[in-house]
């Protein structure tokens, strides 16, 4: 029987991007577009006035909106909440990377919002890129 300690599995908290850039649900669409562009992001958690997660808006959402732009360009007051995906897919900070990867695959998404212990406040983002990077790092350590 092998009694050697098993290496701990990497956790979401080990690789997530901390302090995510968020956008308010009542912000104009142009604000989300500017944040995505200026910060080279692919998606943003959407929060309400209390800072609680209510959805996610992504580049894909913007592309979809562009295809029907003629329907909404005359609609003054279009807000982030009108284009966001809701509810946001989330994960706990102490979940394993395997759990995060499985949730992304099952839901065909590229990122999950990591929530604080209050289960409402975004504290990070874990993306497919983070998971791929972890695989490379594991591989690199295994070759030494």
Give the range among 27-31, 50-54, 72-76, 110-114 with minimum mean pLDDT.
72-76
Mean pLDDT confidence for 41-63: 93
Where does the pLDDT of residue 122 fall: very low under 50, low under 70, confident under 90, or very high at 90 and above?
Answer: very high
**Percent share of the chain, pLDDT over 70:** 85
User: Residue 62: phi, psi to the nearest 5?
Assistant: -70, -40
7-39 burial code (b ≥16 CB/10 A, e <16): eeebbbeebbeeebebbbbebebeebbebbeee
Mean pLDDT confidence for 16-22: 95
Query: For residue 130, which of 42, 34, 35 has the smallest C-alpha distance?
Result: 42
How far, rounded to the nearest angstrom, does the alpha carbon of residue 86 sit from its chain's CA centroid? 12
pLDDT at residue number 136: 76
Token pair for 3: 């009694």
pLDDT at residue number 6: 47
> What's this model's pTM, rounded to 2 decimal places?
0.82
């Amino acid at each position: 029987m092998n009694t050697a300690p098993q290496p701990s599995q990497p956790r979401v908290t080990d690789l997530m991007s901390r302090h995510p850039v968020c956008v308010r649900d009542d912000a104009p669409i142009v604000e989300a577009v500017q944040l995505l562009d200026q910060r080279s992001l692919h998606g943003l958690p959407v929060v309400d006035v209390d800072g609680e997660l209510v959805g996610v808006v992504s580049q894909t959402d913007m592309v979809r909106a562009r295809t029907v732009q003629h329907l909404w360009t005359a609609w003054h007051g279009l807000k982030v909440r009108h284009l966001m995906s809701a509810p946001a897919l989330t994960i706990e900070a102490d979940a394993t990377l395997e759990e995060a990867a499985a949730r992304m695959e099952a839901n065909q998404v590229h990122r999950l919002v990591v929530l604080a212990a209050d289960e409402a406040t975004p504290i990070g983002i874990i993306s497919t890129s983070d998971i791929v990077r972890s695989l490379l790092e594991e591989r690199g350590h295994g070759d030494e």
